[in-house]
A and B are shown apart, each in its own frame.
Chain A
């Protein structure tokens, strides 16, 4: 049995390559996340953030390289060990991914139903408590289709933390939210870490949010990691691509006019 808690890193990615079909999406990714750290994965649209997350979650199988969560290698884990590992992970997907056929509260307590032998009342109370944390206490009986975008994200977060996970993954928490709701969600993430000392991986392309919550930031660009460092270091980086991402400049790759025409016309 691998000693989960004794491993140095909560998350360890080594030389990860990933493809969709023939197309290479991730290129030699190396990433380490400490216990209790908030790591933000940042990058432009299509840079491979969600793909990297899917690999961290064990939803996709890499073409090369290894991923360890809490010291356990995803590729060499037995079904049973994966099942145990998943009890210690919480995930809030980009679109929430709440089950449309269940109420918000049923969604939130589903992991408890599946992983524990608690009686229904206890589960309900725990569900209410988590909904309270994300300020959705009165909305437990609604269906997901009756929630607003921000409420869906918060409900998804409540479901992600219902098992008091040691690892929390969060895809685009603030995308599509109004500024106030976005700030509230950031506060919530910080509070969660403080209260439960969870290791949190957040995928985002919202700079403000990233700077506010991150201990360290990984910048992803076209499937490669440009740098992984503290907020300050990333801010002050002189890498032109990082700067263009930070200052919202258009990419200033030298564009060859002929090549550009070729791409447009397809000739």
Chain B
């Protein structure tokens, strides 16, 4: 408040520069916080047992159920639908060149490299990322995090590390599911248009795909998993101001996750293809 009062006398340009400076410092601070949280999570996952403060398998499984298993139906439906849409568009476009049979190559590569990991991560960020932020924010407001700390339970070990592990298992697994469902969706339309059978369609998919296509998607999905956990957890731990604060943090968390996922996707796609 006192800062705003001091600022109001300044030239607008100076104020702008000052604000940019302030935001930059805050962003760097947050980046540092997130980086140290990532390091600490891995520390607990690797050395926790030796310190007699293990990351509990039970917590990891519970999170993996919530993040992964419960998302199977929705991921299946969406990836199937996207596969169908891509096949429709692809065949319509390629028809003009009389090359509609080449659609399978495009489908297979686009789905495995790009769409499955991206769609899965977006869905998980919306479903679980927001829930994670809300849960941690609520725990913070009700002093549950304080209670953890006074019991001697490190919150990063107890909350962040299991989430990270569960997410890094769930998202690649869901991506494999998404790959399959997407290809299946594409196939359902293609077999009608191209007058082939489903086994033949999958055979052609397999011929079009190389290991790098699938692994590229999986590597990306691991990065997206880390992004979702770090963004949603750090937003949760920064909740201030009761229920309203929790709501605000949840929104911020989802928007940030999606933004970082798409940007990371772009950067990764560039480097994985050209570097």
Interface residues of A (CB under 8 A from B): 54, 57-59, 80, 82-83, 86-87, 89, 91, 93-95, 97-100, 110-111, 114-115
B152 touches A91 (CB 8 A): no
Inter-chain CB contacts under 8 Å: number = 49
Interface string of B124-154 (1 = CB under 8 A from A): 0000000000000011001110110111110
A-B pairs with beta carbons under 8 Å apart, 7 shown? A80-B51, A86-B152, A87-B152, A97-B142, A98-B147, A100-B142, A111-B151
Given contacts A83-B53, A95-B142, A97-B142, contact A59 B150 (CB under 8 A): yes
Q: Are A114 and B152 in contact (CB under 8 A)?
A: yes
Identify 18 new A-B residue pairs, CB closer than 8 A, beyond the known A82-B152, A97-B146, A100-B139.
Answer: A54-B146, A59-B146, A59-B150, A86-B151, A86-B152, A87-B152, A91-B151, A93-B147, A95-B142, A95-B143, A97-B147, A99-B144, A100-B142, A100-B144, A110-B151, A114-B151, A114-B152, A115-B152
A52 to B150, CA, bound (A): 15
The smallest C-beta distance from B29 to any residue of chain A, in angstroms, reads 16
CA distance A224 to B118 in the complex (A): 57
Give the complex CA separation of A86 and B146 in angstroms. 12
Give the distance in Å from the alpha carbon of A115 to the alpha carbon of B53 in the complex: 8
Residue of chain B at shortest CB distance from A85? B152
Cα distance A87–B53 in the bound complex, in angstroms: 13
Interface of B is mostly: helix
Instruction: State how many angstroms separate the Cβ of A14 from the closest Cβ of chain B.
Output: 22
Q: For B143, what are the chain A residues with a Cβ–Cβ distance below 8 Å? A: 93-95, 97
In the complex with contacts A100-B138, A100-B142, A91-B147 CB distance below 8 A: yes
**With A and B bound together, what is the CA distance between A86 and B144 in angstroms?**
16
Q: Which chain B residues border A100 with CB–CB below 8 Å?
A: 138-139, 142, 144
**B51, B139, B143, B146 interface centre (most CB from chain A within 10 Å):** B143
Shortest distance in angstroms between A173's beta carbon and chain B's nearest beta carbon?
A: 15
- Chain B residues closer than 8 Å to A57, beta-carbon distance: 146, 150
State the CA gap A59–B149 with chains docked (Å).
Answer: 8
